[in-house]
Structure 1
């Protein structure tokens, strides 16, 4: 079983994609290099997925700048996909960062694939103990997937409050997907600021600001009866200014703001080291941060209470979002 790969892909289970077992990844041998080297290598390997989730979950909060009237509401299901930039398809293996791992045939830095790199990449990692070569293992290749997007679905509702406020909530109760448990919640507030700016109240567009927080937790059971599992947690914040214009059934909208977030990946439990009688407890602990300015352009089509929206967010991992829902003002 490709244990670490399976656990690192728990987020892909959110979209129902089963992409385990890509390549010949012998984690038991890599464990012989020690916890420090394993975390360094896997930290680079998983980075595009970890950061992609942060950017995916920070989008899709709004499809119009106009808040609901009091007790008006909407409910929608959306999927966002963050495009992995080409520079994240590979990472630079620098032997000075490792104590016991080397790339066979290389005396210096080498470009190796990340999770979203070349699925046909080949090469060999050498595991040393001091100056003694104790094992060789194929380098982990990239996933064999047709598009390099990191997907994230959400279920979101909003309700209008007095004074131009709107409360937004995201919630997915703990559900099981394949061998994973996943839950999500988030809170946001949108407020009409056009009403407070003299001279533009009568102009034919809507203007508001939004602040929102999102949290996602997932657990992947590697060997449940042995207490082996992986955990992923993710937190994001977004701060946005929104403008929109309604034209019959069409609403065009745009946002500008700032997204920030963090994620952690932990592989917990006790694992045997191949070729020894030793074991390692909680071998993987990875932390990631991502932040930066963002801008979104989108459109919403509304047919009675039903709407469909699509938008594109420009940020470090450019993100596409699609939503389907119902809205009653």
Structure 2
């Protein structure tokens, strides 16, 4: 248990320590321009992390298309590495509705939190006789999102397998408190498909999996307020059809299906008489079909695996596990 806890703490700290500190700092800076403008700018700035977080929760559910026999068991350590597409590293302020104006109309493209730029737009806001300037913040330049997961699977009767992933509420430095839980159910469908029913090396199954993530981070104190935090929650649902080949020592598998995610970034607390309580709430949704392919190498009860998911946000999953059929 100590090894598992260390693995989770290391991963959680690596994911959030730098990136959340950037996020909370810049979201509170946006509040200088008022709630409405801050909400619009924060939503565009944080978008890639909101969508990456949800996408990463849907990975790592399987390392084979074959389900466990009754009482079969596996313990798997995964890392899901999601990449931001180039389109997610910047946004054009001309495409947003706000009360500001650009200081230079020719400089309108700003980095998201996943991007990085030397020359950034400067916004002018406030009454005409007392305008103030605001330079758009730089991003982290960190365009990959690694999420560690520990998962347990057990075989049930009727060619069915139940999987669970769980992280109790733990403190992860600047990431605040982090928790994660999820459940998945897989059922063999090989027996229902005449073409592959009698092929001993071919396996097929269907999966439904749901994962929920939560994190709350104390933010820099905004003058005149109290109990301020950035709360991050994300839920991800995936349905998959799996097809694979199992030969001695090696399993090759593919998965096709539909996934949906919803991630919320909420600025909580009292921000003074002007901004009030809980001033910003952002929501990011993704959905669509994706496809992945991978391989598992088994050496006795120990197995190493890796797969790649193709989608709007591509994802590489790799890890190691213990498995007993």
Which residue number corresponds to residue 3 of structure 2? none
1:205 corresponds, among 191, 202, 220, to 202
Q: CA deviation at 1:13?
A: 3.7
What SS does the corresponding residue of 1:63 show, helix, strand or coil?
coil
Q: Do residues 106 (structure 1) and 101 (structure 2) align?
A: no
Distance in structure 1 (CA, Å) of the matches to 2:114 and 2:209: 29
Q: What TM-score do the two structures reach when normalised by structure 2?
A: 0.88
Which residue number corresponds to residue 68 of structure 1? 68
Q: What TM-score do the two structures reach when normalised by structure 1?
A: 0.87
Which residue number corresponds to residue 220 of structure 1? 217
Equivalent runs, 1:254-265 vs 2, <5 Å: 254-265=254-265
Q: CA deviation at 1:278?
A: 3.9
Distance in structure 1 (CA, Å) of the matches to 2:30 and 2:15: 29
Equivalent runs, 1:264-303 vs 2, <5 Å: 264-271=264-271, 278-303=274-299
Q: CA deviation at 1:17?
A: 4.7
Q: CA deviation at 1:68?
A: 0.5
Q: Do residues 314 (structure 1) and 310 (structure 2) align?
A: yes
Equivalent runs, 1:82-231 vs 2, <5 Å: 82-94=82-94, 97-99=97-99, 101-106=100-105, 110-129=108-127, 131-145=128-142, 148-179=143-174, 180-203=176-199, 204-222=201-219, 226-231=226-231
Checking the alignment, whether the CA contact within 8 Å between 2:52 and 2:313 is kept in structure 1 is yes
Is the alpha carbon distance of 1:29 and 1:239 closer, same or farther for their aligned partners in structure 2, counting shifts above 3 Å? closer
Structure 1 or 2: more helix by fraction: 2
Is the alpha carbon distance of 1:27 and 1:240 closer, same or farther for their aligned partners in structure 2, counting shifts above 3 Å? closer
The root-mean-square deviation of aligned C-alpha atoms, in Å, is: 2.4
Structure 2: 5+ residue runs without aligned partners? 1-10
Is the alpha carbon distance of 1:320 and 1:121 closer, same or farther for their aligned partners in structure 2, counting shifts above 3 Å? farther
Is the alpha carbon distance of 1:132 and 1:297 closer, same or farther for their aligned partners in structure 2, counting shifts above 3 Å? farther
Checking the alignment, whether the CA contact within 8 Å between 1:26 and 1:138 is kept in structure 2 is no
Checking the alignment, whether the CA contact within 8 Å between 1:26 and 1:137 is kept in structure 2 is no
Which residue number corresponds to residue 249 of structure 1? 249
Is the alpha carbon distance of 1:139 and 1:312 closer, same or farther for their aligned partners in structure 2, counting shifts above 3 Å? same
Q: CA deviation at 1:96?
A: 6.2
Distance in structure 1 (CA, Å) of the matches to 2:96 and 2:141: 30
Q: CA deviation at 1:34?
A: 1.3
Is the alpha carbon distance of 1:138 and 1:261 closer, same or farther for their aligned partners in structure 2, counting shifts above 3 Å? same
Distance in structure 1 (CA, Å) of the matches to 2:197 and 2:66: 13
Checking the alignment, whether the CA contact within 8 Å between 1:217 and 1:233 is kept in structure 2 is yes
Which residue number corresponds to residue 323 of structure 2? 327
Is the alpha carbon distance of 1:67 and 1:228 closer, same or farther for their aligned partners in structure 2, counting shifts above 3 Å? same
Q: CA deviation at 1:69?
A: 0.5
Is the alpha carbon distance of 1:266 and 1:76 closer, same or farther for their aligned partners in structure 2, counting shifts above 3 Å? same
Is the alpha carbon distance of 1:281 and 1:161 closer, same or farther for their aligned partners in structure 2, counting shifts above 3 Å? same
What SS does the corresponding residue of 2:313 show, helix, strand or coil?
coil
